[in-house]
């Protein structure tokens, strides 16, 4: 559970998006966090304290005069216990309160009284599109960011008022991802990372082609882990149906040739290149213009193959990689003799780090086991979820990078 041991104060302000706070509260708890809900008087017009108490399994606080606290200082006690304060939804009015240091209710008082260095403040704005676009709101946002508040952004879509545009609060799963990412060590802050993921598809005719069983899950997990670690991430994805990790720029490709062009282009500005994609080694020399059909004679089509470009080897031999400005990581999906094949592939590709796994044991699965091979030898990373392995791999990569 990614939030195990974390105590989150979840603040609710007035807005229809309060209904999402119920699901967010459950999601935080499912990831191991404890949640203390604090509501404004306006929030209670949209969702009841009873609902949030049932979901959080804690009494909800809504008054600065709450007599349950022996010292009558819930604004002090609640903030000191928190690992973070998350305001979701955060109304335009409450943002203005935060900006000016107003403290006329428990939630605003608690935010003002929190120890800034140890209790971060995260806000998830929610408002009408015109309110969001108003210069006053944008000025407030800019100043809140300058003051150290972590603004989680908004989404675009239908609004309760019937209008459409920016200002919707992020969905609970998006907010959960943001909170989890916030607590991850920023080991790749300031780095630009390019990840290739998934299979490629080499056309035989308009409806058939050669591909493989790679699901892309490991590469997508690495892209997410790199983004959580503070990197600017570009994910070059073969034909898979996985959702794009939040905050990651995705480039969809189909064939090995498509992936080659994209990888070479984006690697020019990257500091880390991670080639997890299972790229086809060969492709048909020519693809038929029409579907190849059997005619009952038993004759089979004769296919001639040509070798696809070696993406990793080309990027690893580029001047920036040779000069140490680009750190390249390769992947080897093998069926047997993993150590021998991974070691040989690392030397052949001339990369500083090669990650090996047994392909048939991991394709399409949510977990994996990795073997890291570098100039010093091999290190096994035991089987775990692909996201946890990705985070471990990101940490290993970060240790090998030169300082900024």
Quote the pLDDT of residue 236. 98
Known active-site residue 161 = yes
18, 111, 161, 328: the catalytic one is 161
Cα(222)–Cα(389) distance, integer angstroms? 8
**Burial tier of 115 (Cβ tally within 10 Å: 0-12, 13-18, 19+):** exposed
Residue 38 pLDDT greater than 80, yes or no? yes
Quote the pLDDT of residue 186. 97
Residue 1 pLDDT greater than 90, yes or no? no
The single residue listed with the structure tokens 């404890």 is 34
- Residues 205-211: contacts with CB under 8 Å, at least 24 apart: 205/287, 205/288, 205/289, 205/290, 205/291, 205/292, 206/287, 206/288, 206/289, 206/290, 206/291, 207/291, 208/291, 208/292, 210/280, 210/282, 210/283, 210/284, 211/239, 211/280
Quote the pLDDT of residue 67. 80
Summarize the confidence of residues 135-145 as an average pLDDT.
97
Quote the pLDDT of residue 362. 74
Quote the pLDDT of residue 118. 96
Helices and strands (DSSP H and E) totals, the chain = 15, 19
Summarize the confidence of residues 141-161 as an average pLDDT.
95
pLDDT tens digits for range 218-232: 999 999 999 999 999
Quote the pLDDT of residue 336. 82
Quote the pLDDT of residue 404. 67
Pairing mode, strands 121-125 and 84-90:
parallel
pLDDT tens digits for range 237-274: 999 999 999 999 999 999 999 999 999 999 999 999 99
Summarize the confidence of residues 15-19 as an average pLDDT.
96
CB 61 within 8 A of CB 38: yes
Place 389 in a pLDDT band, splitting at 50, 70 and 90: very high
Q: What is the pTM of this model?
A: 0.91
Residue 361 pLDDT greater than 80, yes or no? no
Residue 358 pLDDT greater than 80, yes or no? no
Quote the pLDDT of residue 300. 87
Please give the helix or strand (H or E) that residue 315 lies within, else none. helix 311-316
Cα(1)–Cα(226) distance, integer angstroms? 19
**What proportion of the chain, given as a percentage, has pLDDT over 90?**
84
Place 92 in a pLDDT band, splitting at 50, 70 and 90: very high
* Average of per-residue pLDDT values in the chain: 94
Place 70 in a pLDDT band, splitting at 50, 70 and 90: confident
Summarize the confidence of residues 374-383 as an average pLDDT.
92
Residue 350 pLDDT greater than 80, yes or no? yes
Residue 364 pLDDT greater than 80, yes or no? no
Q: Would you state the structure tokens that stand for residue 54, as one six-digit string?
A: 């049932």
Cα(325)–Cα(270) distance, integer angstroms? 8
Residue 335 pLDDT greater than 80, yes or no? no
Quote the pLDDT of residue 71. 86
Place 165 in a pLDDT band, splitting at 50, 70 and 90: very high
């Amino acid at each position: 559970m990614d939030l195990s041991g974390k105590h989150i104060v979840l603040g609710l302000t007035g807005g229809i998006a309060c209904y999402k706070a119920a699901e967010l509260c459950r999601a935080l708890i499912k990831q191991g966090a404890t949640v203390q809900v604090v509501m404004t008087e306006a929030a209670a017009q949209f969702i009841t304290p009873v609902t949030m108490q049932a979901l959080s399994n804690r009494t909800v606080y809504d008054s600065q005069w709450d007599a349950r606290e022996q010292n009558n200082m819930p604004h002090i006690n609640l903030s000191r216990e928190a690992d973070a304060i998350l305001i979701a939804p955060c109304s335009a009015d409450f943002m203005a309160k935060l900006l000016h240091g107003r403290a006329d209710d428990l939630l605003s008082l608690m935010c003002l009284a929190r120890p800034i260095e140890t209790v971060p403040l995260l806000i998830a704005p929610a408002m009408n599109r015109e309110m969001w676009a108003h210069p006053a709101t944008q000025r407030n946002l800019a100043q809140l960011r300058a003051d150290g508040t972590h603004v989680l952004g908004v989404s675009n879509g239908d609004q309760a008022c019937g209008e459409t545009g920016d200002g919707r609060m992020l969905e609970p799963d998006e907010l959960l991802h943001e909170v989890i990412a916030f607590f991850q060590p920023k080991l790749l802050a300031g780095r630009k990372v390019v990840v290739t993921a998934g299979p490629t598809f080499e056309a035989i005719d308009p409806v058939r082609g050669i591909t493989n069983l790679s699901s892309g899950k490991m590469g997508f997990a690495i892209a997410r882990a790199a983004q959580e670690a503070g990197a600017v991430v570009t994910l070059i994805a073969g034909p898979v149906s996985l959702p794009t990790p939040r905050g990651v720029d995705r480039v969809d490709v189909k064939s090995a040739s498509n992936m080659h062009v994209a990888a070479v282009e984006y690697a020019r500005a990257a500091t880390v290149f991670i080639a997890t994609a299972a790229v086809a080694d060969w492709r048909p020399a020519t693809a038929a213009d029409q579907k190849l059909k059997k005619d009952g004679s038993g004759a089979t089509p004769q296919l001639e193959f040509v070798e696809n470009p070696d993406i990793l080897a080309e990027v690893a031999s580029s001047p920036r990689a040779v000069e140490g400005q680009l750190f390249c990581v390769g992947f080897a999906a093998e069926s047997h003799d993993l150590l021998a094949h991974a070691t040989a592939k690392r030397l052949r590709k001339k990369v500083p780090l090669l990650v090996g796994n047994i392909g048939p044991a991991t394709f399409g699965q949510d977990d994996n086991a990795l073997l890291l091979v570098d100039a010093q030898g091999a290190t096994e990373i035991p089987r775990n979820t692909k996201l946890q392995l990705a985070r471990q791999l990101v940490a290993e990569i970060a240790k090998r990078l030169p300082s900024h």
